[in-house]
Amino acid sequence: MPVSHHYEDVPSAGTARLATDVSHYLSEGPVWDGIRERILWVDIVSGTVHSGRLRPDGTIRVEERYHFPDTAGAVAVAETGELVVAGTHRLYFRSVDGAIRAGAELISGRERRFNDGKPDPRGRFVVGTLGPGGEQLMRVDGDEVTVIDDDLGLSNGLAWSTDGSRFHSIDTTNRRIHVRDYDAVTGSIGRRELFRQFEHGAPDGMTTDADDHLWVAMWGEGCVLRISPTGRIVARIDVPAPHTSCAQFAGPDLETLVITTATEHLTAEQLRASPLSGRLFTVTPGVRGHPPYLWNGRTQRHA
């Protein structure tokens, strides 16, 4: 059953169906690798990247698990199949033969770690932090690091407009989606503006569809919201798990929305009420996604 309490008046675009059997503590960051036709996602606390095959019925068959010596806040894939993973304080790079090496330390602090991240339209890895406050959003291109924000409550979901000229980013703690101009060619980043303020639930991960609408997972609300380019909520997907964490279009035609969820912070009573929490779900909402960007493969010097 849907668990949302605050968005019932938003038109429904469907109810998500169960896609996996395994429950994760904090699954996040689904990524569609169209070259290898696989879906990747992370279980952050266990430091694991999962790789699965999307079946025609919307279920996902897990085929491989890649373990990293740290937390795994996000994953991105290069054209060659190499992976970049956001660890606790540094990035990790996994070659196609399975070798893993660590990049230089980029942040510090016992209570701080990297969180959500994605490649920008030119393949540079943009990633944010989670911690006690004053959190950062940064762009990493090999050894070149550009701090975009340094005053966030919790840096989270990232999404670009279909032409790459507008960049959306979420501050979960403050329940905001920010937007700014973004020139992927020159790397120029515009002034931050408020795109959407939420009163209920916490915006988490997000993605963009082919019509330039955002799909935002609402932590605590058991739904994913579709938001127009003007910031208006126009549709919702119900998920039978309160902590929806991220969404990403997948499949050869990008018609299937893959949704991750978590059991983190749920009480025993909440878990009994929502026993499918922590699993992945899929839905076909009737629109296609925008093709995800590939990481450019530029690694850092050894740690």
Quick check: 11 and 235 in contact, CB under 8 A?
Answer: yes
Q: CB atoms < 10 A from the CB of 302, how many? A: 9
Q: Look up residue 28 and give its two tokens.
A: 């996040």
Report the half-sphere exposure of 19 (CA within 13 A, side-chain side).
31
**How far apart are the C-alpha atoms of 168 and 197, rounded to whole Å?**
13
State yes or no: is 204 an active-site residue: yes
The strand pairing partners of 226, in sequence order, are 215, 235
- Residue of 33, 43, 116, 204 marked catalytic: 204
How far, rounded to the nearest angstrom, does the alpha carbon of residue 66 sit from its chain's CA centroid?
Answer: 18
Quick check: 156 and 171 in contact, CB under 8 A?
Answer: yes
- Give the sign of the dihedral formed by CA 296, CA 68, CA 204, CA 252: positive
What one-character-per-residue DSSP string does 134-182 give? EEEEEEEETTEEEEEEEEEEEEEEEEE-TTS-EEEEEETTTTEEEEEEB
Pairing relationship of beta strands 202-208 and 113-119 according to DSSP bridges: unpaired
Element (H, E) at 273: helix 268-273
The strand pairing partners of 171, in sequence order, are 155, 176
Active-site annotation, residues: 204
